[in-house]
Amino acid sequence: MTFLVQWLIEWPRRIAGYLTWLAPLFARLTVGWVFLWSGWGKLHALPQITDNFVSWGVPFPHLLTPFVSGVEFFGGLFLLAGLLTRISAGALGITMIVAIKAAKWADVDSLETLLGFDEFEYLALFLWLAIAGAGAVSVDHWLERRFARAGNGAKVTPAASLSKLRA
């Protein structure tokens, strides 16, 4: 029995080890494409989107409409390239929180309803990308490798930074 359980856990882990580049790439391409075009559409319909923001009670709608539209457009573009992925995913995640609060919160009557919103699903992907990063097939990864080589090759990790502080 132990052998079977170990095999059922270890075999998929070994296979997944060869595909670690695929999940962040797929997630970035999916949400990047959606938000690139969402932002583009909003940038070309600012008066209507501003009216929506006003009706939802978003503060400073004339300022925030072009800002949020730009965040969606450029955030989507950056996610497609895998450039500044953690920052882009964080900014887009914040827009999803605001969208849920401003436009959807009145419809929330249960956890099931909240978790069923597209915005919440996007938020989950953005949270994962903000934590996990862009993955190996990205400009971020290329930049990390390029600048690690230019330096002494040592990768700075939170643990390494903490140990330097203790010394």
Report the distance separating Cα 83 and Cα 76, nearest Å. 10
What does the buried/exposed string (b/e) look like for 91-112 if buried means 16 or more CB atoms within 10 Å of the residue's CB?
Answer: bbbebbebbbebbbeeebeeee
Report the distance separating Cα 110 and Cα 143, nearest Å. 43
| pTM for the model | 0.84
Which residue has tokens 């699903």?
A: 121
Q: What angle do CA 48, 28, 100 make, to 5 degrees?
A: 40
Q: What is the pLDDT along the chain (167 residues), one digit of tens a residue?
A: 888 888 899 999 999 999 999 999 999 999 999 999 999 999 999 999 999 999 999 999 999 999 999 999 999 999 999 999 999 999 999 999 999 999 999 999 999 999 999 999 999 999 999 999 999 999 999 999 999 877 765 555 555 544 554 55
